Amino acid sequence: MRDGPAEVVAIPDLREGTRVEGLFAVVVKDLRPFRDPGKGAYMHLQLQNRTGSIVGRIWERAEELSTRFREGDAVWVVAEVNSYRGTQQLIVDDIDPVDPDTVEPEHFLAASARSLEEMEAELWCAIEGLPAGPVARFMLDVFADPEFYQRFTRAPAAKRIHHAHLSGLLEHSLEVLAILCRGNPGGDRLDQEILTCAALLHDVGKIEEYDFRTGIEYSARGRLIGHVVLGYDMVRGWLREAPGVPEPTAQHLLHLLLSHHGQHEYGAPILPQTAEAVALHHADMLSGKIAQILVVGEDTPAGEWSDYDRFLGRQVWRPPGAQERGTQA
């Protein structure tokens, strides 16, 4: 097992014929037989780091090297950049697992395009802007916990569809809050205090739903229970220990968390039954859908159509003059 400096190769900058040595995560590992069975097998790999992903091939010693590592491992790769049918790939000469204690998710996962410091300041501005009282104290106590705060501000919001990057949960939660504060038609008739709490906490179960080190994967609890119920259980436990939060307020907040997916078929245990619950659901959907559209279109030249996206069920047109988008490397 290799132990040493964690160098990240910039995948978009790779050029055919150059030698590569660096750190990757193994997303796919597949031994495949050659057409001539007498030649044994080769290995197909999908390798990833925070700058992107690339196909790898091991033509020689594939079965021997296969015993060194598993899917999901961090590996040190020595390879040459090759091109096949116009697409770059790595022809791997050697590959070794890397000590997992020497790597961090930042080596393999992209981060939010927004500055973490900027988002943290926006988060605390929202919490500290709540009216003085038991609800504000409840939110301050929740986010003052160092372990929770670290997990919340680093977690992704999804495995692949939207905000699927480090600090994606924080970014998405702040987007939902901004939509609710600036764009809801109910205006002053809606309870802004409960909406602020719900915007920041509606997806809090995602800190338990996903495991992320070399990639974003569902945890066992995430698969078996899901973030809606996980988040409900977390917030209900915190509310039980929160002095002075009125029971109707606590019930309303929990209802918002349980109903924010909007429909039973979308994973909501209960349908939205207050104006605030309806507002939260649509703000959540708007943030997610816009992020999804932007991700699909970000590699498409302005004025052209993206490839078909199976999650959206359509192609996306990127208007002329569209600004460059993306996540930080």
Q: Please count the structural domains in the chain.
A: 2
pLDDT in tens, 33-59: 998 877 889 999 999 999 989 999 999
Give me the pLDDT at residue 327, please.
Answer: 45
Say if residue 157 is in the same domain as residue 271: yes
Q: What is the pLDDT of residue 312?
A: 87
Residue numbers of the domain that contains 22: 11-105
151 in a structural domain: yes
Give the model's pLDDT for residue 6: 57
Q: What CATH code is carried by the domain that includes residue 44? A: 2.40.50.140
Contact 156, 210 (CB under 8 A): yes
Same domain, yes or no: 128 and 270: yes
Q: What is the mean pLDDT of residues 264-279?
A: 95
Which CATH number characterizes residue 197's domain?
A: 1.10.3210
* 82-141 per-position pLDDT tens digit: 988 888 999 999 999 999 888 889 999 989 999 999 999 999 999 999 999 999 999 999
- On whether the CB atoms of residues 74 and 214 are closer than 8 A, the answer is yes
Q: Can you give the pTM of this predicted structure? A: 0.86
Same-domain status, 90 and 213:
no
Residue 305 in domain: no
Are 123 and 85 within one domain? no
